[in-house]
Amino acid sequence: MAVVHGQRTEDSFGGHFSFDEDAASEDISLDGLDEELEEHKNYDVLISILANGEKQRDRATLVEGNLGHVEQDLIQEYVEDSDNLVLLHDQIHDCDIILSQIGSLITGFQVHIGSISSELRSLQERSLDISVRLKNRKLVETKLAKFVEEIVAPPGLVTVIIDGEVNDGYVKNLEILSKKLRFSQVDPMINASKSLKDIKPELERLLQKALSKVSDYLTEIFFSMRKPGTNIQILQQNLVQKYRYLILFLREHGSKVYTDVCAAYADTMNKVLSAHFQVYIEALEKSKLDIGVSSDLTGYDTSIIDLIPRGREHLRNHHFMFSLGERASILKEIDRPGLVPHISEVNPVKYPYEVIFRSLQKLLMDTASSEYLFIKAFFGEESLFYQVFEGPFEVIDKHLDHTLQYCHDAVCLMLMICITRKHQLVMLNRRLSCLDTYLDKAVIYLWPRFKTVFDMYLQSLYQCDAKILWVDGSHPHHIVRCYVELTAALIQLNAECGDGQLDMNLERLRVAVDNLLGRLAENFANPRTQHLFLLNNYDMTISVLKEAGDEANKLQRYFEEKLESNMLVGCAGLWMACSGWFKPVPMVKSQLHWNLVGNWPYSQQIAGYEL
């Protein structure tokens, strides 16, 4: 016990002090003393020793004595508590046994838990595997169900396609069939599957039945358009709104059938529209007013001059062929509805050909616009439009060829050119190009005919016999007036829709009229009457050109210069003739000049005055 106590004492002081008296001081190493003092500077015992200067041995003796007392007290306590300690020892022993048993149980439980953990891991792995397999099976089931649904034709679909009537429900079933057919063509692997090979022949037979039924239905509708009184536009609207998918189905799954259906429609509408335009043209021709035949320009007899129509029973107002007048109003009513034949039969009014031409063109524009929009919306094939209108174009071209061959009315021809130009603008505003080629062709066709007739007019002016046309009198000549009115009409129309092609021809016409005036004036024996004739014709020309507007200013100035020059020449001749007996000639000359130039409407009084 003492040994233990000594050891504890040594441990308490860290083994820093030696109580061996025989130990030589020189054997004690002081190396590291400073570090140890620094390390233990906070120990109470060390602080007390250093502070009080106690010797090591005295301190050790004191400590040893204290330890002895403590040891004795401790032994006494152990003796007094020995029974309790024995009891505690027994209890500890029992606890050790119990703890050993508990340890065994815990070890067994741990082993059991370990086996359960292994089973759980196994179950988890199996669950994960089953989950993956389930997911794969569901995916396969989904794809397989979709595949089966896409390729299998249900009985209801087959019944409707084969036996059902073509209606909205039939169209919906066609969409389902189209989807099934399209599905087998998307993926080569699907197309090569054995299941599809088994059912594909059935789908193909179902497709052929659908193509045949749709083709027959559309062809029947197209043929119904041939019946008289059929409202074709209503049928077309019904087709576009309800059955457009039929033509889409044919185009996607039956190109040959689609081509045949398009050909059937084109053939039907070609015949229907050709007959329609033929009947309309024949009805309009009954209302045509004949103006300007070849005899108006070539040939004459002893009683009728060559430039005025023979026989006024054909045309009461012979100036109608040369003047514009109310005929220009047709250009302001370019988009008005055309003539209605049965109304014209009730009220038999005759119209100049440009009115008939505008009505025909109006009908063509409206019909072509409607047909073009239908074909584009229903068939989606713009080329089909030209197949449909091949016949109507031929009917109209044949009619124009025949009519223009006998048309010698230059004003009418120019009005037709202007009408065509206006109609081109109408189609441009409609944003439709279907008649561009036809209207361009019409303009190209009309211009040569106009120039031919115009050249005939000029040739007639140059070749006419002035002696036969001459009328003894100083009033304006009616032939000159006709051609001046023609000039004014062409100037107005040229300003309305000309493209510069008339400018040179108008100059040629001016030269021809001027030449005719000169030749007619040469037939007067009296120079004074000759000058008055020219002055009156120039005045009439200026008046007519003023009505033509600003576009005739250049030509008007030319004739004003001719008027003034001839007036001066006439006044000079008058002064020479009267110089011997009429003294105030300068005053008369000045007054005559003022009346003729400044206020020409009074010139008729001067012209009719005997000088």
Q: Taking the chain, what is the end-to-end CA distance rounded to the nearest angstrom?
A: 187
Q: So what's the pLDDT on residue 356?
A: 93
Q: What is the pLDDT of residues 436-487, one digit of tens each?
A: 999 999 999 999 999 999 898 888 888 888 788 777 777 888 888 888 888 8
Q: So what's the pLDDT on residue 267?
A: 94
28 — pLDDT class (breaks 50, 70, 90): low
Whether residues 397 and 417 share a domain: the answer is yes
Q: What is the pLDDT of residues 400-443, one digit of tens each?
A: 999 998 888 889 999 999 999 999 999 999 999 999 999 999 99
Region 503-524: mean pLDDT is: 85
- 164: CB partners within 8 A, 6+ apart: 170, 173
The one-character DSSP state at 290 is P
Residue 284 lies in a domain: yes
Whether residues 426 and 331 share a domain: the answer is yes
Q: So what's the pLDDT on residue 257?
A: 93
Residue 145 lies in a domain: no
Point out the domain boundary residue: 223, 253, 283.
253
Query: For the packed helices 244-253 and 194-224, what is the interaxial angle rounded to 10 degrees?
Result: 130
Query: 3-class DSSP state for residue 288?
Result: strand
Cβ–Cβ < 8 Å for 284, 359: yes
Region 487-510: mean pLDDT is: 83
pTM of this prediction exceeds 0.75: no
The number of domains in the chain is 3
Pick from 334, 225, 328: nearest CA to 272: 225
Q: Write a three-state SS string for 50-98.
A: HHHCCCHHHHHHHHHHHHHHHHHHHHHHHHHCHHHHHHHHHHHHHHHHH
Region 521-530: mean pLDDT is: 81
Q: What is the pLDDT of residues 294-347, one digit of tens each?
A: 544 433 333 334 444 333 333 344 456 677 878 888 998 888 988 887 765 666
Centre a 10 Å sphere on the Cβ of residue 213 and count the other Cβ atoms it contains: 19
Pick from 581, 578, 602, 577: nearest CA to 591: 602
**205 vs 388 pLDDT, higher one:** 388
- 548: CB partners within 8 A, 6+ apart: 488, 489, 491, 492
Looking from the CA of 571 toward its CB, the CA atoms found within 13 Å total 21
Q: So what's the pLDDT on residue 278?
A: 94
Cβ–Cβ < 8 Å for 291, 412: yes
Whether residues 247 and 268 share a domain: the answer is no
Whether residues 429 and 287 share a domain: the answer is yes
Whether residues 189 and 239 share a domain: the answer is yes
pLDDT above 60: residue 589:
no
CA distance linking residue 516 with residue 461, whole number of Å: 7
Q: So what's the pLDDT on residue 413?
A: 92
Whether residues 306 and 399 share a domain: the answer is yes
Whether residues 209 and 268 share a domain: the answer is no
Whether residues 347 and 368 share a domain: the answer is yes
Whether residues 399 and 306 share a domain: the answer is yes
Q: So what's the pLDDT on residue 402?
A: 92
Q: What is the pLDDT of residues 239-282, one digit of tens each?
A: 888 888 999 999 988 889 999 999 999 999 999 999 999 999 99
CA distance linking residue 7 with residue 3, whole number of Å: 6
Pick from 183, 151, 194, 158: nearest CA to 173: 158
- 276: CB partners within 8 A, 6+ apart: 367, 392
Q: So what's the pLDDT on residue 192?
A: 65
Residue-range definition of the domain harbouring residue 432: 254-464
Whether residues 263 and 168 share a domain: the answer is no
CA distance linking residue 267 with residue 35, whole number of Å: 125
Residue 399 lies in a domain: yes
Residue 330 lies in a domain: yes
The one-character DSSP state at 330 is G
Point out the domain boundary residue: 253, 274, 308.
253
Which residues make beta-bridge pairs with 288? 351
CA distance linking residue 356 with residue 351, whole number of Å: 7
The one-character DSSP state at 477 is P
Q: What is the pLDDT of residues 128-181, one digit of tens each?
A: 999 998 999 888 888 777 766 666 778 888 888 888 888 888 889 888 888 888
23 — pLDDT class (breaks 50, 70, 90): very low
Whether residues 171 and 278 share a domain: the answer is no
Residue 202 lies in a domain: yes
Q: So what's the pLDDT on residue 317?
A: 42
Q: What is the pLDDT of residues 195-249, one digit of tens each?
A: 667 777 888 888 899 999 999 999 998 988 888 888 888 888 888 888 889 999 9
Centre a 10 Å sphere on the Cβ of residue 98 and count the other Cβ atoms it contains: 10
Region 68-81: mean pLDDT is: 84
Region 6-31: mean pLDDT is: 49
Residue 513 lies in a domain: no
Centre a 10 Å sphere on the Cβ of residue 200 and count the other Cβ atoms it contains: 15
Whether residues 324 and 424 share a domain: the answer is yes
H or E, element range at 486: helix 478-497
194 — pLDDT class (breaks 50, 70, 90): low
Q: So what's the pLDDT on residue 523?
A: 82
Residue 481 lies in a domain: no
Percent of the chain predicted with pLDDT > 90:
23
Q: So what's the pLDDT on residue 338?
A: 87
Q: So what's the pLDDT on residue 279?
A: 93
CA distance linking residue 28 with residue 20, whole number of Å: 12
Point out the domain boundary residue: 417, 433, 464.
464
Residue 480 lies in a domain: no
Q: So what's the pLDDT on residue 406?
A: 86
CA distance linking residue 288 with residue 466, whole number of Å: 33
- 90: CB partners within 8 A, 6+ apart: none
**578 vs 35 pLDDT, higher one:** 35
Most confident listed range (99-103, 343-347, 563-567):
99-103
For the chain, the average pLDDT equals: 78
Query: For the packed helices 436-463 and 478-497, what is the interaxial angle rounded to 10 degrees?
Result: 160
Say what the alpha-carbon torsion angle 152, 156, 159, 165 is, to the nearest 10 degrees. Answer: -120
Cβ–Cβ < 8 Å for 528, 611: yes
CA distance linking residue 171 with residue 165, whole number of Å: 10
